[in-house]
Amino acid sequence: MAKSPKISASHEPGGLIVHISGLLPSLSPAEQRVARLVVADPADAARRTITDLATAAETSEATVIRFCRSVGMDGYPQLRIRLAAEAARRVEPPDARVVGGDIPPGADLAQIIATIAFNDARAVEETAEQLDPAVCEQVVDAIVGAGRIDIYGAGASGFVASDFQQKLHRIGRTAFYFPDVHTALTSAALLGRGDVAIGISHTGTTSDVVEVLEQARARGATTVVLTNFPRSPVTEVADHVLTTAARETTYRSGATASRLAQLTVVDCLFVGVAARNRPRARKALEATAEAVRSHRIGSGRRRA
């Protein structure tokens, strides 16, 4: 009953391929042919059926099975999935993505997508890393205790401001968003101690936002700003400064990365506020979700 060696490959966390090529010389000729195919292109081998692989190696299925056993596998299917896993792992992302740089003129869409996504994801991650939880906490405190929350933002930041307003509203906080300076100033004039004014400005230089926060602060409201530039003019009129970390300098991509970063911060604040009063917030969310249900098609799953 003296059978094949069967070198344990189960303790081969990283290198099945290495393992195989290591004991390649100890294999029989026919098995070596199989081994060489496998080592040459693991991913391809994983795709083949045993018969297919046997044919490619100019041998029989039996030999392939023997090969499997020789390298420590139970059988062909096991080898197959191990190979697939192995092959997948060694797909390095060495592709030098342009970090924060411009899209090269000749780029095709696949490249464009990769570059944009990379930068966008990066902006979100880096923003989170540099966000000061202590400041967030203070802002959350202010919002939770506020009688009223006014939110301002012009242009692209206006979307974010509006989003924030909608979120707070959905969990029952009294929040307003003003798209234009005049109504914003009017509203700010009516703020008082205990109220909160939040300004959003990517550059931190939007005069409208500065003016409104100034007004709000003069009335005794707590002022908060969300900007990418921690020393911009707007930070001078803010009690609390929250910053995003988008590197994007050009308007090339319409400042989407900074928008995403802003939305992420807003989301953090929102969840922070909601977490303060979980049951009530949950109930409010459910109620609002219910309200739009009639505009949905089908209650369960969709289509066939």
Partner DNA sequence: CGGGCTCATGAAAGTAAGTTTCATCCGTGG
Partner DNA sequence: CCACGGATGAAACTTACTTTCATGAGCCCG
Query: Rule CB under 7 A: is residue 205 a binding residue for DNA?
Result: no
Parallel/antiparallel/unpaired status of strands 196-200 and 149-153:
parallel
Strands (E), 73-170: 149-153
CA dihedral 259, 260, 263, 265 (to 10 degrees): -110
Query: Rule CB under 8 A: is residue 127 a binding residue for its own copies?
Result: yes
- Which residues, 192 to 221, sit near its own copies by CB under 8 A? 203-208, 210
Q: What is the spatial distance between Cα 164 and Cα 152, in angstroms, rounded to a whole number?
A: 10
Query: Rule CB under 8 A: is residue 189 a binding residue for its own copies?
Result: no
- The answer to whether the beta carbons of residues 139 and 277 sit under 8 Å apart is no
Question: Which CB sits closer to its own copies, 11 or 193?
Answer: 11
Query: Rule CB under 8 A: is residue 277 a binding residue for its own copies?
Result: no
- Which residues, 53 to 92, sit near DNA by CB under 7 A? 58-63, 65-66, 68, 74-77, 80
Strand partners, 227: 243
Q: What is the spatial distance between Cα 185 and Cα 22, in angstroms, rounded to a whole number?
A: 75
Question: Which CB sits closer to DNA, 233 or 272?
Answer: 233
Candidate residues 10, 11, 13, 29; the one interacting with DNA per rule CB under 7 A: 29
- Closest CA relative to residue 46, chosen from 7, 15, 81, 2: 81
Candidate residues 6, 252, 280, 283; the one interacting with its own copies per rule CB under 8 A: 252
Question: Which CB sits closer to DNA, 77 or 254?
Answer: 77
Minimum CB distance to its own copies, residue 204 (Å) = 7
- Which residues, 241 to 280, sit near DNA by CB under 7 A? none
Minimum CB distance to DNA, residue 67 (Å) = 9
Question: Which CB sits closer to DNA, 28 or 162?
Answer: 28
Using the contact rule CB under 7 A, the part of the chain among 27-35, 93-101, 165-173, 199-207 near DNA is: 27-35
- Which residues, 48 to 87, sit near its own copies by CB under 8 A? 49, 77, 80-82, 84-87
Say if residue 36 is exposed, middle or buried (CB neighbours under 10 Å; 0-12, 13-18, 19+).
Answer: middle
- Which residues, 136 to 165, sit near its own copies by CB under 8 A? 136-137, 140, 154-156, 159, 162-163
- Closest CA relative to residue 42, chosen from 2, 6, 91, 111: 91
Based on its alpha-carbon atoms, the radius of gyration of the chain, rounded to whole angstroms, reads 30
Place of tokens 């992302």: 93
C-alpha distances out from residue 131 to 227, 245, 282, Å: 12, 9, 26
- The answer to whether the beta carbons of residues 106 and 246 sit under 8 Å apart is no
What residue ranges bind DNA (CB under 7 A)? 2, 28-31, 49-51, 58-63, 65-66, 68, 74-77, 80, 304
